[in-house]
Amino acid sequence: MPSTLAETPRAVLVGVQLPGITDEQHEADLAELGRLVHTLGFEVVGTVSQKRDGLRSGTVLGQGKLRELAAYTGGTGVIPTGAKQRTSKAKEKWEGEEDADDAAEAEEGDDQPAGAPIDPERRATVVVVDHELSPSQARNLERATGAEVLDRTGVIVDIFHRHAKSREARMQVEIARLTYVVPRMRETGGSERQQGVGAGESSLELDRRKVRDRIAELKAALAVIHADQDQRRYARKDQLRVALVGYTNAGKSSLMRALTGSEVLVADRLFATLDTTVRALQPETRPRILVSDTVGFIKKLPHDLVASFKSTLDEALEASLLLTVVDASDPTAEAQLAVTREVLGEIGAQAVPTLLLLNKADRLDEAGRAAVLARHPGAVLLSAHRPDDVAALRQRIIDHFEAEMVEAKLVLLYSQQGLVAQIYEHARVVDETFDETGRSLTIRALPGAMARLQRLVTGR
């Protein structure tokens, strides 16, 4: 994937408003792209937007908008004649139809040529497109603008690549990055054939084979890590587990820190958390309640990243309760909630009990708070920075599990006292008495944990 080389990189955003997308949605998508680009350290110097029935097959934008885009970068706005031309009749027909569309758009005033060029000191060095580009579209835009071109998927993959910290997260991101890179690799030194091993392959073919081999190697190493994680999750299967899920930058890590006292990274940026953290709810309860933070979701999250982070998302799938976190102060909160639910559906977690948390309530006025609660009457409105709100949420979590618990009595002989620690770990002891034969405990636990403890005590 292309890398950002300039010391103070500037970017221009490109978006095409397709049929069915409202002006508000389109503006929100471009604003989110701007935040993604800012996360990479770019300064956004402009936006080029166009309404079209579809992305132009060669350059995404129409001819007039392409010239407007080139004004931001100092490019010509024209693909050099040395670029490979379409040869098939079907492609020539399609190109002719696109040219006709461009002419119609220009007549309607929707595709006007650019005005005065941008100050050379403020020129963009990177073009970021809010759509997934084909390799040929990216190359054509680079030729027309003279700038580096990134699509939305490339930006997200690059952010993940920079923020991954653990060995597992780095490997997951590397798989997604290499999968993204393979079809976009180009010949750099001619197409001469290699000698010896791999004879008959061009240098490009050889490079692609090396990348595919590396992907296979990473997947094999991840399989070992995931097997170990599966064992740890199995060991926690009878414990009470809560998973924080939601859109990126919704405040999940802030809530994680407030609920558990853990020193997880809290930052006002997209995808600050890529590694799963599991900590006990504080103050600790009996039985313990484990809380896990997960990677944030985003609109058009690349499928390769969803697949790569499957083990992280499994924390949500195997949780006893999902806390779906939404930034209630964000104008696009409803769209973000829809994306979260869509991703949860993709991984099969839609059946897990869910509690909706409307976070960042401290940024809303009274009317705003009333409005979001009217839309989501069963939700919890809170701020992760208010101790009283966090305490109320903690009690809500405890009450949820308490409602699902069953009560039973266990009788332990004195020869079975080694089981007491397990009982206290997986159940809440309501009453405890002793007699000459042993100890009697009245406990409350989830049905699955209760059945296992009963089998452990009775031996059947």
Q: What is the pLDDT of residues 433-452, one digit of tens each?
A: 998 888 999 999 988 889 98
Rounded to an integer, what distance in angstroms lies between the CA atom of residue 80 and that of residue 372? 53
- Kindly tell me the sign of the dihedral angle through the C-alpha atoms of 411, 414, 416, 421: positive
pLDDT tens, 25-69? 899 899 999 989 998 889 999 999 999 999 998 899 999 999 999
Q: What does 66-133 look like in DSSP terms, one character per residue?
A: HHHHHHHHT--SS--TTSPPP-SHHHHHHHHHHHHHHHHHHHTTSSPPP-SPPPGGG--SEEEESSPP
Confidence band for 4, pLDDT divided at 50, 70 and 90: very low
What percentage of the chain reaches a pLDDT higher than 70?
Answer: 78
Token code pair at residue 456: 């452990």
DSSP secondary structure code for residue 192 in this structure: P
pLDDT digits (tens, 9 = 90+) for 325-369: 999 999 889 989 998 898 888 878 888 899 999 999 999 999 999
Q: Where are the domains of the chain?
A: 10-157, 165-231, 238-402, 406-458
pTM over 0.85: no
10-157 and 238-402: identical CATH topology: yes
pLDDT of residue 301: 72
Pairing verdict, β 438-445 and 428-434: antiparallel
Tokens 């990177």 belong to which residue? 126
Judged against a pLDDT cut of 80, whether residue 241 lies above it is answered with yes
Asked whether residue 3 carries a pLDDT value surpassing 50, the answer given is no
Angle of helix 252-260 relative to helix 387-404, nearest 10 degrees, comes to 80
Q: CATH says 238-402 is which class?
A: alpha beta
Report which of residues 121 and 150 the model is more confident about: 150
Task: Tell me the C-alpha distance between 14 and 33, whole Å.
Answer: 9
Average pLDDT, the chain: 82
CA–CA separation, 393 vs 359, rounded Å? 11
Q: What CATH number does domain 10-157 carry, 3.40.190.10, 3.40.50.11060, 3.20.20.150, 3.40.718.10? A: 3.40.50.11060
Which of 78-82, 192-196, 421-425 shows the lowest mean pLDDT across its residues?
192-196
pLDDT in tens, 171-225: 888 888 888 888 877 644 444 444 444 555 678 888 888 989 998 999 898 888 8
Q: Tell me the C-alpha distance between 281 and 255, whole Å.
A: 11
